[in-house]
Chain A
Amino acid sequence: MIVMTKESLQILKEQDVILFRNRVKEFATKIGMSLLNQTKLITAASELVRNMLKYANGGVVILEIIGKDRVTGIRLTFTDKGPGIADIRLAMKDGYSTGKSLGLGLPGAKRLVNEFDIKSEVGKGTTVTIIRWKNGI
């Protein structure tokens, strides 16, 4: 796997979300991702960044254009220093939420991307990594 472009963004307030989404869109357009795949990626990113703001008061996102076996894609890594998730399996279940949301954020985001990885430590924070390939389904 090779990283072609890398950038990191601070997410501290609500308005940063729109800026961040636009940046993801620019990256996705640059590699020629189809409109549908772009929409899926940005929606997933939106869910995750919202979680970050809500539960950890913000964090950092790393945007990367990556290549593997002649396929390009976009990798986003969301890192926060929030309370962490005690039971990841439960958090990944549809309809489960500790807040007042619909509980679709994490599992929904997973369905919208090609690769999804979550690591969390209670009291330390959470890191979520997602990849969407240019033409993957």
Chain B
Amino acid sequence: MDRIPILKMGHFLLVTIQVDLYDRLALSLENDLINMVSQVDAKGVLIDISAVSIVDSFMGRILGNIASMTKIMDAETVVVGMQPAVAITLVELGLTLSGVHTALNVEKGMELLQKRIGKDQTGEEEDYDSND
């Protein structure tokens, strides 16, 4: 069975989705990712969807689930690189992914993760980056 590769970079996990996800593939990604977070004690998860042309409500729910699940395990999830057409379509669909952090690209996503994790450790609570 196909699998989406998950890369480990320091405290973070990086996933680049480059194929159209059918449901079972998306669900197995959710599973793998959560297991991996626990295995390597990751502090952040970066999901790059810049190559994804369609995000429907199912796919949106998976992204939301991953964010909520990692949150409970004390890791932050950032979705990066959403295409403009996908963003407009999601809003029209009624899905705002309110629990998910977003960033323009992988680089900005890394910055955001580093900043948030730094804050967690020093206990600061003033944030401009949260989207909730």
Contact = CB atoms under 8 A, between A and B. Distances in A.
A38 B24 CA distance: 24
A61 interface: no
Interface string A94-136: 1000000110110111011000000000000000000000000
B94 interface: yes
Q: What bracket does the count of chain A residues touching chain B fall in?
A: 20 to 34
Interface stretch (B5-13, B33-41, B85-93, B112-120): B85-93
> Chain A: interface secondary structure?
helix
Contacts of A39: 53-54, 85-86, 88-89
Contacts, number: 67
B85 A21 contact: no
A101 to B, nearest CB: 7
A102 B85 contact: no
A33 B94 CA distance: 23
B104 to A, nearest CB: 19
B29 to A, nearest CB: 14
Contacts of B89: 36, 39-40, 43, 112
- Which bracket fits the contact residues of B? 20 to 34
Interface stretch (B42-50, B55-63, B67-75, B123-131): B55-63
Interface string B20-39: 10111000000000000000
Contacts of B23: 14, 17, 50
A15 interface: yes
A43 B93 contact: yes
Contact of A101 (B20, B61, B85): B61
B92 A15 contact: no
Given A46-B56, A112-B93, 17 more contacts: A14-B23, A17-B23, A21-B20, A38-B85, A39-B53, A39-B85, A39-B89, A42-B54, A43-B54, A46-B54, A46-B58, A47-B56, A94-B94, A102-B57, A102-B60, A111-B93, A112-B92
